[in-house]
Amino acid sequence: MFVILVYDTAVERNPKVLKTCRKYLHWTQRSVFQGELSTAQYRALTAALNAVIDPTHDSIVTYRTRSPDLVETATLGIDLGGPGDIL
């Protein structure tokens, strides 16, 4: 599956959230990661994140599609995540 992940977490928990996301996904932009994961990897990622966040304060949203081919990505301004079309 293709995953886009956005997080809005307290500053003190951001390092752990970032570290967890980096293990599974590519950094796109401030607060945004994306990448292709298996179902098992997605479950491992969300389990790891649930262990790190404060569910009464933090928020993480994931958007999943079956394939990156279903998603058209466009960048306005600079491409922070890397050179060219990372899909």
Give the footprint of a second copy on this chain (CB under 8 A).
Answer: 4, 6, 8-9, 28-32, 46, 49-50, 53-66, 70-81
Q: Smallest gap, in angstroms, from Cβ of residue 36 to a second copy?
A: 14
Q: Please state, as a whole number, how many other Cβ atoms lie within 10 Å of the Cβ of residue 21.
A: 24
Show the tokens assigned to 57: 């304060």
Nearer CB in complex with a second copy: 15/29: 29
Q: Please state, as a whole number, how many other Cβ atoms lie within 10 Å of the Cβ of residue 16.
A: 15
| Residue 54, marked binder | no
Amino acid at 20: T
Q: Smallest gap, in angstroms, from Cβ of residue 63 to a second copy?
A: 5
Write out the binding residues.
8
Annotated binding site for Mg(2+): 8
